Amino acid sequence: MSGNSLGNLFRITNFGESHGPAIGCIVDGCPPGLQLDIDDIQKELDRRRPGTSRHVTQRQELDKVEILSGIYNGVTTGSPIAMVIKNIDHKSNDYSNIANSFRPGHADFTYYKKYGIRDPRGGGRSSARMTAPTVAAGAIAKKWLLENNNVIIRGYMSQLGKIHIPFISWDHVNKNLFYAPNIEIISKLEEYMDQLRKKGDSIGARIEIIAENIPVGLGQPIYNRLDADIAYIMMGLNAVKGVSIGSGFNCVEQLGSEHGDEIYPEGFKTNHSGGILGGISTGQPINVSLAIKPTSSIRIPRHSIDINNNPVIVQTFGRHDPCVGIRAIPIAEAMLAIILMDHFLLNRGQCG
């Protein structure tokens, strides 16, 4: 399979380079009858938009989406939905000093070695911006899931560098730019980020995505497990280096008598499984944790090579995220929505 399509019955095909004419996607498989409107999509895109605070990339993109097909009288027809986002802010010159060298930790190196062609303009297809079409597609999935099955998908930041963020309330998440479920810790986080920005460095983060009101029975054993699909799409997110479900890496130290979620007539007692057992959903909330690595493009000088293998020192100026983890939350929510929608549709085909 070519590398740019995702999904089985709810299928997303992505196109565009960060600094080419436009980016976008085709969403294929959305059932007919869903009321869909530009605002449903724009609203999700705005959540990930750079330039909304001093903590994220200062590149001005309006990320204004256009729908080219698949809607008639404000309702999906069942035909493919094409969405396009024109690229407005192309300040390519910020990347000129790195045109021939590779940023350590960045896909420049692998992309050049694989394709023999270097597209220096803002990271080409490995740029964080390429997630915008996925977020647009995720907006459609989120809406369908909510209206058809009352599914709620939301995420938050649980750790920023060494700072653990205790969970207080979902209500706090939308009241700060970190998606932190904890208003009290914000000033500490802001202070830390300001220090990083001064130094020209970056930091990693840990984020959690939760899906609620999931019915039991999504997923197929062995090779099309729901957890496998989730791992696949999340590890495909730029900067993710680890994916876990439920207790995740805490399982390593758990006894079987602790880990297995006991069941009572009124329901499960715990949720160490994270809502998935044997690759199939249990009916409990699905909990996903992601490890987000620190951004590769920093101002601190780093050793690297150029395309002729000569040693160079690389510093990246321009506008970028000191912490990709912040913007990763709406993207990861979108991705979980896409996977869940695909599984809802698959499930109808197989056991209906």
Q: Which of residues 161-220 bind a copy of itself (CB under 8 A)?
A: 161-162, 196, 201-206, 216-217, 219-220
Q: Report how far residue 141's alpha carbon sits from residue 331's, in angstroms, rounded to the nearest whole number.
A: 13
Which residues, 47 to 106, sit near a copy of itself by CB under 8 A? 66-72, 75, 77-82, 84, 102-106
125 assigned ligand-binding residue: yes
297 assigned ligand-binding residue: yes
Identity at 144, one-letter amino acid code: W
Q: How far is CA 312 from CA 100, 287, 308, in A?
A: 10, 43, 11
Which residues, 245 to 264, sit near a copy of itself by CB under 8 A? 245-264
Applying CB under 8 A, does 41 fall inside the site for a copy of itself?
A: no
For a copy of itself, give the closer residue by CB, 249 or 317: 249
- How far is C-alpha 94 from the chain's CA centre? 25
Q: How far is the CB of 212 from a copy of itself (least distance, A)?
A: 17
Q: Report how far residue 44's alpha carbon sits from residue 142's, in angstroms, rounded to the nearest whole number.
A: 10
Q: Report how far residue 294's alpha carbon sits from residue 106's, in angstroms, rounded to the nearest whole number.
A: 11
Q: Compute how many other C-beta atoms are within 10 angstroms of the C-beta atom of residue 332.
A: 29
Q: How far is the CB of 167 from a copy of itself (least distance, A)?
A: 16
Q: How far is the CB of 117 from a copy of itself (least distance, A)?
A: 5
Residue that has been written with the tokens 């990246």 in this structure: 316
Site size for a copy of itself, by CB under 8 A? 152
The helix/strand/coil state of 288 is: strand
Among 177, 183, 186, 305, binds a copy of itself (CB under 8 A): 305
Q: Which DSSP letter does residue 212 get?
A: E
For a copy of itself, give the closer residue by CB, 95 or 171: 95
238 assigned ligand-binding residue: yes
Q: Compute how many other C-beta atoms are within 10 angstroms of the C-beta atom of residue 82.
A: 17
Applying CB under 8 A, does 339 fall inside the site for a copy of itself?
A: no
76 assigned ligand-binding residue: no
Phi, psi of 80 (to 5 degrees): -60, 140
Q: Report how far residue 19's alpha carbon sits from residue 123's, in angstroms, rounded to the nearest whole number.
A: 8
According to DSSP, the β-strands at 302-305 and 65-67 are unpaired
327 assigned ligand-binding residue: no
Applying CB under 8 A, does 287 fall inside the site for a copy of itself?
A: no
Q: Which DSSP letter does residue 31 get?
A: P
293 assigned ligand-binding residue: yes
Among 56, 128, 292, 331, binds a copy of itself (CB under 8 A): 292
Q: How far is the CB of 304 from a copy of itself (least distance, A)?
A: 5
Applying CB under 8 A, does 318 fall inside the site for a copy of itself?
A: no
Annotated binding residues, written as ranges, equal: 48, 54, 125-127, 238-239, 278, 293-297, 319
Annotated binding residues for FMN, written as ranges, equal: 125-127, 238-239, 278, 293-297, 319
